[in-house]
Amino acid sequence: MKFTTTAVLAIAALVESASALGKARVVNKCPFSVTLWSVGSTISAPTTLAQGGSYGETFSRDPVTGGRAIKVTIQPDGLYTGKPQTIFATNLDGNTIWYDLSDVFGDAFNGHKVVVASANTACPKIVWNSGVPPAGSQVSNCNANSDVTLTLCA
């Protein structure tokens, strides 16, 4: 099969843009372990992060749900037992990554500061000083080539 120069350049541009995508990251600075799951149309195996541990996944668009969510609990089985969950959700839309932070079933990090931020200072931060969501929307967006990190016990 023979490719034209235009086709080769188009494929190269797609590969370059795919590799330029940022990551959703979680860093655990808490003095205890946490467990997280990556959730979309499927649920990943649990990942346990001890103090100082980190996790990352490249931004992607789920073909069924559209977005992805990293669900974090203090209990190792918390996703399946209705324990408090902090949810770091992302939605890749072209060159933009939309992200937010929310809690369900209680506030897993009550009393512990949590922050969503990026090294790209143009990306708005989400800060919960006491580990509890403030009133109002927590949705922000940034260029999809920027890493966005949820830091627990910041």
Look at the chain and count its residues. 154
Instruction: State the DSSP string of 121-135.
Output: TTSPPEEETTSSPPS
At residue 4, the pLDDT reads 52
pLDDT in tens, 110-126: 999 999 999 999 999 99
How large is the average pLDDT for residues 16-23? 72
The residues with which 27 forms a beta bridge, in sequence order, are: 54, 151
Tell me the pLDDT band of 34, cut-offs 50, 70 and 90. Answer: very high
At residue 137, the pLDDT reads 76
Q: Which domains occur in the chain, in start order?
A: 22-152 (2.60.110.10)
Q: How far apart are CA 125 and CA 67, in angstroms?
A: 19
Contacts of 138 (CB under 8 A, 6+ apart): 100, 101, 102, 126
Residue 97 has pLDDT above 50, yes or no: yes
- Mean pLDDT taken over the chain: 90
Query: Structure tokens of 49?
Result: 């992060």
